[in-house]
Structure 1
Amino acid sequence: MTTNAPRPDVLRYTAFSTDPDGGNLAGVVLDAGDLDDADMLAIAAELGYSESAFLTAPPEGLDGRAYTIRFFSPKAEVSFCGHATVATAVALAERTGPGELVFATRAGTVPVEVAEEGGVLRATLTSVEPHVEEVADADLAEALGALGWPVADLDPAFPPRIAFAGARHLVLAAATRARLADLAYDFAGLEALMHRLDLTTVQLVWRESSTVFHVRDPFPVGGVVEDPATGAAAAAFGAYARELGLVPEDAVLTLYQGEDLGRPGELTVTLRAGDPRVRVSGAGARIG
């Protein structure tokens, strides 16, 4: 950004909630054309949210309501962020109306549809094609050691995996709600492992019922102890649960996140038979 260029408007939104005290906060810059990487990182660090989103013109070949979107945590750029995508889509819909949007991300093209339901704007993103891979025993042991979780505290029905739907997440399932609630981890140790495995968060899960889950996401690589509501991890978890046969190929899952932080949010994950991509939906709202 040149010294004479005006600073763009930095909007503040919450995603996966309509309550300013719930969901996950995101900075949104709808016109970042005059910003360079250092400017975007500085704005994200100043806000201190887990991620902020920056819009510029779309690449050639994308028409309609299309944009290039980039995501920055306070520490670094990330390939994809679900909650900032939802926040940005809601911000655009408030200005130009509900409908279809297309975002070009580092991870690939992400369509988003915004609809108004009872006066509330809800955005549904469609992930890039996901995949799931094994996690090495030594890496799993290192992760559990950093978390302070004994192997016996894992749910044996949900084997550990690394899942991707725009970003990589290590999925670990707790056997009890109490285990999930008790989170005090080695920040530096987990951060080092996550950098080595190219992980964005660790997706910690507890199953309440066949379609309802409670989740938490440590995010030390972003400079944040915990992410309050994580759309990218929700998409990855949907792909994981389907591939391992833990849910039907056609399913609608509800993920509750942020309760243990005092910022409750709700994420809806939709799986469709015959379509490998995962849909993640949630509300969003501007905050003061």
Structure 2
Amino acid sequence: MKTNLIIFALFLSGLLYAQRPNMGGFVGKNASLHNGQISGKLVDAKSGEELAFANVRLFRKNDILMEGTITDEKGAFQFTKLGLADYYFLVNYIGYEETRVDISLNKNKTFVYLKKVKVEPGAVSLDEVSINEDRPVYESKMEKIVYNAENDLNEGLDDATDVLRKTPLLSVDLEGNVNLRGSSNIKFLVNGKESTFFSGSAADALQMIPAEQVKSVEVITSPTAKYDGEGGAGIINIITQQKQISGFKSTINGSVGTRVNKQSLDLNYGKGKFGISVRGRVRYGWPLSGEQTYHRF
């Protein structure tokens, strides 16, 4: 009898251990894929003075631009929710040399803080003085941050979605959904006015605006009284080269099979402040022939 009780206790403890959920492993691994962070502070290499409102752009090692930002009043910058990979960032500031810093994020180093990134002042020649007008790429104003796309090198960009990926404070996912400081509650304007371009999907509307038509993007984080209460996270005002813009986007998908059939049609057209969107979906199927046999034991 005593031997049987011992065997039963061992069996029960083994069963409980096998059914215990895995609290680490898979969850921790997935969570670490995009928990990388890079932050730091820019200072003058000679005086140590903090460099406020400097342009900082983050790239992957294969030269793909990830995102851009500007430093705050104390010269600080930060990139969050990064994948674990090799990166570098470029610092551009009027009157200073372009500075590159290489950084690697991995499972053993997911957070990198650069206390002082020293930026060298540009060389000044006393023999000859030439005045060149440098148009700023980024501007910080009282209620908004402005990305002047026309002053930046944007060769190879397709549409407004790509332009917004380079705009500070904004993040754009692979489907074209835009977030401002982590929130998608955004109001879109075109040339300071509401447009039916954005009456439907904002992601589709952005893809209808060619990149070369975007003059600048204003990210308004503290709207004044002239804006209504929509857009809890803020307002994105897209300034275009022409007052009247037009665009067209269409998507047709289809699949045919012996079990499930799916068809879809997406048409989007916009001109000026007017836009129209047409969508269609078809899905149908039929019962499968055959027989099923069940056995109960």
Superposition TM-score, scaled by structure 2 size: 0.25
Q: Which structure exhibits the higher relative contact order, with contacts defined as CA atoms closer than 8 Å and separated by 6 or more residues?
A: 1
Instruction: Return the structure number with greater helix share.
Output: 1
Query: Radius of gyration: which is bigger?
Result: 2
Superposition TM-score, scaled by structure 1 size: 0.25
